[in-house]
Structure 1
Amino acid sequence: MTMMAVMSMFSPLSTRRPTVTPGECGVAAARIREELCSAGLELDVRMCRPNRATSVIVAAESGSRIGGTKSDPRSRSDQGQHAVLSDQAALIQRTLDGTSMKPISIRAFGHNLAIAAVLAGALHTSAASAVEPSDNDALSLIITYQTAPANRPALRRELEQSTARELARWKHDGRIKQYNLLFNRYADSDNWDAMAVLAFATPDDLSRWRTVELTRPAALSGKALSVTTTIHTTPVDTKRAETLGTKSRNAVYVVIPYKTLVPMDEYEKYADGYVIPQFKGWMEEGVLSGYSLYTSQFPAGRPWSAMVMLQYKDEAALSAREAVVAKVRERLKNNPEWKAISDSKKNVRSEEQVVIADSVAVNQ
């Protein structure tokens, strides 16, 4: 697979072309080298015609050169992404007000690997942009763990001391995009004791997770596995998610599984029209700091097909839940679309057992 990242070091809307010295280009080259080497890439950076460069095109590639004619059996989605980014590169070139420039050449050695280098501050610029996958439909795994009541302290201790550390390392290495590790605050034999939610940036990243499973099944250490009785791993899509971006050590998580009773596309319309407006209202009221809606990719035989995770700011916010729910629903009655769904009383989903959990480790 060949991928590339294209970023403009100067705004195309700028009418004044900055003067760039060879020394500044050397600094930019060093910044590029530092950013990509930190991701484990070997590379060669060549700065060409620095005095006339008003944009930087950064490409991380394997298998073919950008603009070359070498055959590359990419998938249709990769070909489409390559074409879009090529168009972006051409657009940047056209906005250089007649200035010609040769791009930076970067050869990355790695297997099916591409990276977008963010170079804030280089060459008199304050920001750079990179193409990021949407949070919607992000590939994720929801893993739940159960242990005997007597082993709950041992499992939590191992999650805190080992699993949380490994998740942070895998996030840093780019194996996972986000993670959330929760622990059920109550002993409950009918429910899970711990849950990990792992998000991946691409299907390839999710596929590579199997290499972790070979040595640390379900991301657990040997000690954690020795006290774990059951593990359930569910591939899911992150359909809707929003967070205020604030992290609180006192956050409380409410995890609600559902069985959907209608086709998934119909359920998503229901969620957008009825459920999500309530979540947003709770955030406006100051009790909720984030929410996520997941749907199972393979729901047959599973105990749930959709799951909602709500992050309350603290215990006081959770205690105000019922009052806030009633207040927001009363306000939403003025929304004709929401009221129509509320009045229809159509059976769309059935709620399963709710779990109240605390965070062991989180990187959102």
Structure 2
Amino acid sequence: MIFSKKMGDLGRCLAIALLLSVASAPAEETVGARGHNRAGEGEMRLVLTYKAPIEKRVAFRKYMESSGVTQFEEWRSRGVFSGYKFLFATQVNEHLPDMWVIIDFAKFSDIAKWQGIERDYPGGLGPEGVVLAAPRTEIYANLGWQGGTPKADQSKSLYMIIPYISFVAGEKYEDFANKYVVPQLNGWVESGLMPSYAVYLNQNPTNAPWHSLLVLEYDGIRGVALRDSLKGTIRAKLANDPGYAQYSEIKTTIRKELEPATFEVILPH
């Protein structure tokens, strides 16, 4: 009985200590932990791609610059979503989308409003739009990392989108991004050639066309032209950084880079 009482007292002490340790523990910083803490009600993105037949590509862009962006502005003003970005490809590529659209939602449940829109506007395209192009993919995504400040005049920016396929678990990829990818991106921002960046993570990566997505804003064609020389400069500065060095030689075992392309922003009037 004495032993049982002592064990009971010890158990209560351990339980109290555990509760105190949990209460005082710092919040997790990983993307996965942030997602769990939000319980599905945090900020959310949908990333869409579109493809037009070559003979309709010009008409599709003109539609998005007029009726398309006007319709999205109306939905934004009605609170269907909190923001969006249209990125139209600067060059024709048979294998790549003609346009990406990134839609921001204040919380995941707001996507229900978008699903209501899609009953009549597949991929956000009205009757005039669906005869010009087709939505190809629509992916739930988290904004994993972002940095810099977008240019005030987006018409002077040139974006590059780079999709990746990951070969490792989410926690390992986050460590790789924190130690190898993000330090380089921050260095590019500091140079002034790349005003901002965002890294999106696919919430449902199984058999998906991409697992992570880099959206890089460059200072026009000049920023893209100096991209390779800037990469070399920043990598040389990071050469002795332990985190960068950890992944520099094995990055191809972490993820595979897919074909990048450049894009211009379609802006509301």
Q: TM-score range by the shorter chain?
A: 0.7 to 0.9
| Structure-2 separation of matches of 1:243 and 1:361 | 20
Residue matched to 1:112? none
Q: How far is 1:339 from its partner? A: 2.0
Percent identical residues: 24
Q: Which has the higher contact order (CA 8 A, sep 6+)?
A: 2
Identify, as 1 or 2, the structure richer in strand.
2
Q: Which runs of structure 2 are paired with 1:129-278 in the superposition (5 Å)?
A: 138-248=43-153, 249-278=155-184
Greater Rg over alpha carbons, structure: 1
Residue matched to 1:321? 227
Q: How far is 1:325 from its partner? A: 0.6
| Structure-1 separation of matches of 2:263 and 2:212 | 18
Q: How far is 1:141 from its partner? A: 0.6
The AA in structure 2 aligned to 1:151 is: K
> CA separation of 1:168/1:321 partners in 2, compared to 1, >3 Å: closer, same or farther?
same
The alignment's TM-score, normalised by the length of structure 1, stands at 0.60
| Structure-1 separation of matches of 2:49 and 2:122 | 12
> CA separation of 1:345/1:316 partners in 2, compared to 1, >3 Å: closer, same or farther?
closer
Q: Which runs of structure 2 are paired with 1:2-21 in the superposition (5 Å)?
A: none
Residue matched to 1:32? none
> 3-state DSSP class of the match of 1:174?
coil
| Structure-2 separation of matches of 1:355 and 1:154 | 21
> 3-state DSSP class of the match of 1:246?
coil
Report the count of equivalent residues.
227
Kindly report the root-mean-square deviation, in angstroms, between the aligned alpha carbons of the 2 structures. Answer: 1.7
Deviations 1:266-294 (A, max 9, x none): 10111111101101100101111111111
> 3-state DSSP class of the match of 2:253?
coil
Q: How far is 1:189 from its partner? A: 1.3
Contact in 1 for aligned 2:164/2:211 (Cα 8 Å)? yes
| Structure-2 separation of matches of 1:326 and 1:152 | 36
Unpaired stretches in structure 1, ≥5 consecutive residues: 1-132
Residue matched to 1:306? 212
Q: How far is 1:229 from its partner? A: 3.9
Deviations 1:235-268 (A, max 9, x none): 1111112231432312111000110000012101
Deviations 1:178-226 (A, max 9, x none): 2110111111111101111001001121222111111211111211111
Q: Is residue 240 of structure 2 the alignment partner of residue 334 of structure 1?
A: yes
Contact in 2 for aligned 1:138/1:239 (Cα 8 Å)? no
| Structure-1 separation of matches of 2:242 and 2:255 | 22
Contact in 1 for aligned 2:48/2:135 (Cα 8 Å)? no
| Structure-2 separation of matches of 1:338 and 1:349 | 15
Identify, as 1 or 2, the structure richer in helix.
2
| Structure-1 separation of matches of 2:123 and 2:201 | 19
> CA separation of 1:344/1:353 partners in 2, compared to 1, >3 Å: closer, same or farther?
closer
Q: How far is 1:170 from its partner? A: 2.2
Q: How far is 1:152 from its partner? A: 0.5
Unpaired stretches in structure 2, ≥5 consecutive residues: 1-37
